[in-house]
Amino acid sequence: MRCTGIALGSNLGDRLENLRRAKELLSSISTGPVLAAPVYLTEPVNCPPGSPDFLNTVIEIFHEGTPAELLEKTQEFQRHLGRTEPAERNAPRVIDIDLLYYGGEIVSTDDLELPHPRITLRQFVLRPLADIRPDLVLPGQTLTIAEHLERLEEPALPVVAREW
């Protein structure tokens, strides 16, 4: 059983409801307690011009199996929630589910890289992750999540929902 961090984002439709539904699906496969960070309003990063703002959060679940199996499950959940493959990279989406870490494992395949290579560069991931796991040190890192967040030196993100 591995403690697994998962980033959730949505910038189409009822964004908060999309996050709730994704959390429910992921909770249904968790073999332990689920932690959920507050939901933040964030500007789109590397998205097409005019893309709507995102709601972003992070949850932590426990999973039995392999990272590849969990990736397959998250992709299934995205399809179930209405995500289609966009014609344009980083186009607006109903739901985005990204694996951030899988216990202490380091994975590098064509389909999956863990820990996620851009965790420490993205406030929309670091801020909610720091809310639930500030002292976490990712495999291959020496700084905590809270320390990485401090180094970004970006303005605070607005909280949309603390309990969701």
Q: Residues in the chain, how many? A: 164
Show the domain range for 28. Answer: 2-161
Closest CA to 124 of 44, 70, 69: 44
Number of domains in the chain: 1
Q: What is the pLDDT of residue 84?
A: 79
Q: Are 149 and 37 in contact (CB under 8 A)?
A: no
Closest CA to 5 of 146, 132, 141: 132
The pLDDT averaged over each successive group of 10 residues in the chain (164 residues) is 95 97 98 98 86 96 96 95 73 91 96 94 96 97 97 93 95
Among 2, 15, 83, 122, which one carries the catalytic annotation?
83
Q: How far, in whole angstroms, is CA 20 from its chain's centroid? A: 13
The tens digit of pLDDT for each residue in 63-92 reads 999 999 999 999 999 999 988 776 566 678
Is 151 an active-site residue?
Answer: no
CATH number at residue 61: 3.30.70.560
**Angstrom distance (rounded) from CA 42 to CA 31:** 30
Is 96 an active-site residue?
Answer: yes
Is 127 an active-site residue?
Answer: no
Instruction: Enter the pTM of the model.
Output: 0.94
Among 93, 122, 127, 133, which one carries the catalytic annotation?
93
